[in-house]
Amino acid sequence: MDLRGKQITLGELWDDPRSRGVFQKRVPMLARHPVKGAARTVTLEQLADFLAGWVPQGMISGVLRDLERL
């Protein structure tokens, strides 16, 4: 999947069943988070920067790797 230099938005990713599945598998708490709808304009880069303070880097790397493989 073309992540456009991590500038693809979460809305675009969540609208694609394949990438939504990556989030549901790798970061289930994010996939169920109540502000998910409000975060549709957040870029993948912004999300990765935010998550870096909360989750292990390996989890973020795994999500990025899985998305790139789609």
- The 10s digit of each residue's pLDDT in 13-43 is 999 999 999 988 988 887 677 666 778 899 9
Contacts of 61 (CB under 8 A, 6+ apart): none
Q: Among residues 10, 12, 64, which one has the least CA distance to residue 39?
A: 10
> How far is residue 67 from each of residues 3, 4, 29, 34, 41, measured CA to CA in Å?
8, 12, 17, 23, 18
Q: Where are the domains of the chain?
A: 4-69
Residue 53 has pLDDT above 80, yes or no: yes
Mean pLDDT of the chain: 90
pTM of the model: 0.84
The residue whose two tokens read 């870029």 is: 43
What is the pLDDT confidence band of residue 44, given thresholds at 50, 70 and 90? very high
Find the mean pLDDT for residues 49-63: 90
